[in-house]
């Protein structure tokens, strides 16, 4: 997260994420799944601004960024599918929920005015809503002068969503439990990637329901070791997502996107989260940008395409 104080407001630049490794270890009695995943923040950002509101009200104005239509090849209008539908308002928005929960837990009668500019598609496995919620927690903590440490904010974040604690730290991390237990990983070199978010979306709950845990589960350590060595070709076989098989059974888009990425001879290709966004590790930033340009010029529509870096 990048945090800026501008006059009376706090502005937070909230990144997306990809999962370079994702294993479903077991199904828990509480209905969640025990997972082990390596998540990396990437340079695709939402922007959240927050002002204090002494009235105690929490309000949100949210919109898609001005360049989204052009970048995604959607000049005719944003579709009502594939992550670019109407942005949730009120309690349906995780950022609003995060601010209200923080005020209630802190026992203060303070509100906030939020403005959210979105670039990360929703429901695409990139964690946009969770990142917005973490940004709101960080901003409200500052503007209200609470001075809470990150560990205390993480407890609030875990109540909002499994990915939200990761975004408070926004660094490469192994996440376990249902995703809320964070262990930062050091020594991973910067990665240049492309992300494709296809037009069709999936229900996270449905993908998990159709997923069988690993027998035996794979472990993330070999993937981390390869990333620390910086040997891109060695990473390819180690990129793993247990949710890929159920996701590809539910969406024809995923195989279309993966075929495009494998055809580009990228060192590593995978799906992020429960889909439907897929990514490829590229050999360099110029390789990533040239591949994005070629994909955007194709006549066959495969979705939104970005060149990003790990951050």
Look at strands 58-64 and 111-118 and give their pairing. Answer: parallel
Q: What pLDDT is attached to residue 79?
A: 43
Pick the CATH number of 2-184 from 3.30.230.10, 3.40.50.2000, 3.40.50.40, 3.30.2130.10: 3.30.230.10
Confidence of residue 287 (pLDDT cuts 50, 70, 90): very high
Please classify residue 46 by burial: count the beta carbons closer than 10 Å to its beta carbon, then call 0-12 exposed, 13-18 middle and 19+ buried.
buried
Q: What pLDDT is attached to residue 300?
A: 63
Task: Tell me the two tokens of residue 306.
Answer: 């970005």
Question: DSSP characters for 28-64?
Answer: -TTS-EEEEEEEEEEEEEEEEEEEEETT--EEEEEEE
First CA to last CA distance, the chain: 9
The domain segmentation of the chain, as residue ranges, is 2-184, 192-309
Q: What pLDDT is attached to residue 299?
A: 57
Quick check: is 163 catalytic?
A: yes
Other beta carbons within 10 Å of 219: 15
The stretches of the chain forming alpha helices (DSSP H) are 68-71, 94-106, 128-143, 150-160, 164-169, 204-209, 221-229, 232-235, 244-250, 252-263, 285-297
Q: What pLDDT is attached to residue 200?
A: 75
Give the mean model confidence (pLDDT) for residues 26-45: 94
Residue in 170, 243, 236, 185 with CA at minimum distance from that of residue 212: 243
Q: Residue 206 above 60 pLDDT?
A: yes
Which entry of 86, 104, 163, 181 is annotated as an active-site residue?
A: 163
Whether the full predicted model's pTM is greater than 0.95, yes or no, is no
CATH class belonging to 192-309:
alpha beta
Do 23 and 214 contact (CB within 8 A), yes or no? yes
Q: What pLDDT is attached to residue 123?
A: 84
Which entry of 9, 17, 80, 155 is annotated as an active-site residue?
A: 17
Q: Residue 83 above 80 pLDDT?
A: no
Q: What pLDDT is attached to residue 72?
A: 52
d(CA 147, CA 256): 48
Confidence of residue 115 (pLDDT cuts 50, 70, 90): very high
- Does 2-184 match 192-309 in CATH topology? no
């Amino acid at each position: 997260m990048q945090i800026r104080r501008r006059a009376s407001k706090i502005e937070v630049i909230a990144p997306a994420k990809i999962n370079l490794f994702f294993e479903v270890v077991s199904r828990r009695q509480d209905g969640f799944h025990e997972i082990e995943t390596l998540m990396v923040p990437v340079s695709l950002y939402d922007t959240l601004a927050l002002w204090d509101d002494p009235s105690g009200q929490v309000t949100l104005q949210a919109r898609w960024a001005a360049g989204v239509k052009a970048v995604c090849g959607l000049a005719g209008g944003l579709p009502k599918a594939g992550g670019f539908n109407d942005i949730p308002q009120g309690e349906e928005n995780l950022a609003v929920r995060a601010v209200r929960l923080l005020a209630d837990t802190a026992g203060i009668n303070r509100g906030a005015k939020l403005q959210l500019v979105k670039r990360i598609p929703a429901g695409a496995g990139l964690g946009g809503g969770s990142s917005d919620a973490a940004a709101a927690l960080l901003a409200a903590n500052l503007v209200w002068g609470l001075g809470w440490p990150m560990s205390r904010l993480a407890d609030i974040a875990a109540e909002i969503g499994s990915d939200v604690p990761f975004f408070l730290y926004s660094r490469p991390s192994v996440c376990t439990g249902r995703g809320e237990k964070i262990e930062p990983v050091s020594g991973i070199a910067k990665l240049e990637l492309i992300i494709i978010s296809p037009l069709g979306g999936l229900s996270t709950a449905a993908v998990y329901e159709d997923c069988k845990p690993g027998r035996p589960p794979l472990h993330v350590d070999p993937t981390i070791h390869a990333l620390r060595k910086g040997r891109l070709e060695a990473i390819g076989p180690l990129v793993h997502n247990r949710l890929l098989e159920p996701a590809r059974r539910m969406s024809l888009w995923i195989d279309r996107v993966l075929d495009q990425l494998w055809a580009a001879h990228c060192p590593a290709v995978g799906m992020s989260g429960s889909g439907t966004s897929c990514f490829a590790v590229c050999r360099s930033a110029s390789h990533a940008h040239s591949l994005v340009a070629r994909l955007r010029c194709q006549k066959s529509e495969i979705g939104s395409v970005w060149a990003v870096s790990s951050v």
